[in-house]
Chains A and B, each alone.
Chain A
Amino acid sequence: MDQLGIMLAVLGAALAAGFAGSGSAIGVGIAGESGAGIMTEDPGKFGLVLLLQALPGTQGIYGLLTAFFAILKVGLLGGDAVSVNVWQGLGVLFACLPIAIAGYYSGIAQGKTSAACIQMIAKRPEETGKAVILPAMVETYAVLALLMSIILLNSIQF
């Protein structure tokens, strides 16, 4: 049963890194497409475009962080071996879900917002400050999900 518990914890870590990373990849891709469109017309906007394209990438980092934290918790990253029963494994799996789900959807949503803001700076480069704030609002919910995942992981007793 210990093995099943470990496997459930590993599944949680994999979902956190996989889904949040996928959301970021899609989001960065969407923003990148928009950025390429703008830079075809005005290569001088590379710096602004890169900044906005990078914003949806943070969800992937949050997912990776949660995944590390989860496997560290069950002792898969060195340290003393920890005995993990099925319920504890399930607990780790559920704790990873907030960042997995919110990371995936917010990554895509942030990519779309970034793309729209990239289009905005194409016409109004002087509004770059506002263009960064709008996608950053989406980031809030990824941060909240990360926070909840970490709190939940911390609350699981082994």
Chain B
Amino acid sequence: MTCSVDYGYTVSRLRGMENRLLEPGVFQRLMDSDDLSSAIRVLSETPYGKWILEQQSEEKFDKAIESELLYIYSETERFVPDPGLYFICRLPYDIHNIKVLLKGIFNQKEGGKRRMDLLTGLGNMPVDEMVMAIESEDYRLMPFGFHRTVPECVSIWDQSHDILQVERVLDEALFSLQVKIAGEMPFEGVRLFVRSRIDAENIRNLARLKRMGFESPQAAPFFHNGGSVPVEKVLSLLNEPFEGWERFLSFADVSRTLSSAQEHTGLDSLIVDLERSIDDFLSGILAKFKYSAFAPENVLHFLWLKEIEAKNLRILLVGIGNGADRSVLRRLLRNV
């Protein structure tokens, strides 16, 4: 009788909300659409319809997807007992916003333009407050330790003008925060998800850095601590051919993301496939918890499913808009 039932209401409500997720049939209809207009018409019949109506043109479908995600996050926030669960999911958007704002400022200093349209409202910190804090250089009230991270990034830029270094510091802050928040909650599944996410990010970075021809000493700062696989182990793979990575990592779950590595002729195609494999791997980590009626990890599972749904929609709509081959689009879809 030690099983906690605190999440009985939450998980049940999420089960009800799962009925609003798009069925595979909808994705099939989207894929069968001749052009973007007909795809948008199909999407209008789904819960995304109300947001599509608000957009002035079909090309603004990304705003409609973002609005639906924001609606889901806001709704979930109201009844999830532990805010850490949705903080973890929304933190990447905060970091994205900081990157957009900082790059805009750095760009402007060099005579370029700022891209405020790339900001998203999906972060934990309201966009207006973040813009105000960064533009006025008044970082004191920024949450999650951003009041230390942002000035550090500005300082790095002032000294080195190295945008990769700035991105690395922000990514490091993201994963440290996720590890910290997960560590404060008594849910092993959440910690497992965060660890797996860091492992997956390290594998993604490994493939990218290998393609860019980085050597181990240069690449080391781009890997993040906190995963199940030690950074040293991942770093050592940089000198190995990518076909053998899965074998070297066979002791870790994340090796599943590389199961098709041997089918690829080069790193370019591996990297494209890796994006899908990583998302499917993380979906698999969380899917285990759907069989538990009271597991708090179901919150992460639902939010992750919604994120994957949004990602699939973006892939399909951008692909259809650009006249991409449907079989290519089908291969890019996650978990459908």
Complex alpha-carbon distance, A105 and B2, angstroms: 12
Chosen A-B contacts, 21 in total, with CB atoms closer than 8 Å, are A30-B5, A33-B8, A34-B12, A36-B9, A37-B13, A37-B14, A38-B12, A40-B13, A41-B16, A41-B17, A41-B19, A42-B16, A42-B19, A108-B1, A112-B294, A115-B294, A119-B15, A119-B293, A122-B15, A122-B18, A123-B15
Kindly identify which residue among A30, A105, A123 contacts B8, using a CB–CB cutoff of 8 Å: A30
Q: Are B8 and A37 in contact (CB under 8 A)?
A: yes
How many residues of chain A are within 8 Å of chain B by beta carbon? 19
List, in ascending order, chain A residues with CB within 8 A of B14's CB. Answer: 37
Q: Are A122 and B19 in contact (CB under 8 A)?
A: yes
Q: Using C-beta atoms within 8 Å of the partner chain, give the interface range for chain B.
A: 10 to 19
List, in ascending order, chain A residues with CB within 8 A of B18's CB. Answer: 122-123
Q: What is the chain A residue whose CB lies nearest that of B298?
A: A119
List, in ascending order, chain A residues with CB within 8 A of B164's CB. Answer: none
Complex alpha-carbon distance, A30 and B8, angstroms: 7
Complex alpha-carbon distance, A105 and B5, angstroms: 15
Given contacts A30-B5, A105-B1, A112-B3, contact A36 B12 (CB under 8 A): yes
> Would you call A67 an interface residue if the criterion is a C-beta within 8 Å of the partner chain's C-beta atoms?
no
Instruction: List 10 tightest A-B contacts by C-beta distance, closest first.
Output: A41-B16, A37-B12, A37-B13, A116-B293, A34-B12, A33-B8, A122-B15, A37-B9, A33-B9, A119-B15
List, in ascending order, chain A residues with CB within 8 A of B5's CB. Answer: 30, 33, 112, 115
Q: Are B12 and A33 in contact (CB under 8 A)?
A: yes
Complex alpha-carbon distance, A9 and B9, angstroms: 40
List, in ascending order, chain B residues with CB within 8 A of A108's CB. Answer: 1
> Would you call B97 an interface residue if the criterion is a C-beta within 8 Å of the partner chain's C-beta atoms?
no
Residue from A38, A41, A105, A108 whose CB has the most chain B CB atoms within 10 Å: A41
Chain B interface residues toward A at CB < 8 A: 1, 3, 5, 8-19, 79, 293-294
Q: What is the chain A residue whose CB lies nearest that of B292?
A: A116
List, in ascending order, chain B residues with CB within 8 A of A123's CB. Answer: 15, 18-19
Complex alpha-carbon distance, A130 and B121, angstroms: 43
Q: Are B13 and A112 in contact (CB under 8 A)?
A: no
Kindly provide the distance from the CB of B289 to the nearest chain A CB, expressed in whole angstroms.
13
Q: What is the chain A residue whose CB lies nearest that of B6?
A: A33
Complex alpha-carbon distance, A115 and B5, angstroms: 10
Q: What is the chain B residue whose CB lies nearest that of A123?
A: B15
Kindly provide the distance from the CB of A67 to the nearest chain B CB, expressed in whole angstroms.
23
Q: Are A40 and B16 in contact (CB under 8 A)?
A: yes
Given contacts A30-B5, A108-B1, contact A37 B293 (CB under 8 A): no
Given contacts A30-B8, A34-B11, 18 further A-B contacts (CB under 8 A): A30-B5, A34-B9, A34-B12, A36-B9, A36-B12, A37-B10, A37-B12, A37-B14, A37-B15, A38-B12, A38-B13, A38-B16, A40-B13, A41-B16, A112-B5, A115-B8, A115-B12, A122-B19
List, in ascending order, chain A residues with CB within 8 A of B9's CB. Answer: 33-34, 36-37
Q: What is the chain B residue whose CB lies nearest that of A117?
A: B293
Q: What is the chain A residue whose CB lies nearest that of B1?
A: A108
Q: What is the chain A residue whose CB lies nearest that of B20?
A: A41
> Would you call A118 an interface residue if the criterion is a C-beta within 8 Å of the partner chain's C-beta atoms?
yes
Q: What is the chain B residue whose CB lies nearest that of A40?
A: B13
> Would you call A12 an interface residue if the criterion is a C-beta within 8 Å of the partner chain's C-beta atoms?
no
> Would you call A21 an interface residue if the criterion is a C-beta within 8 Å of the partner chain's C-beta atoms?
no
Given contacts A112-B293, A115-B293, A119-B293, contact A41 B13 (CB under 8 A): yes
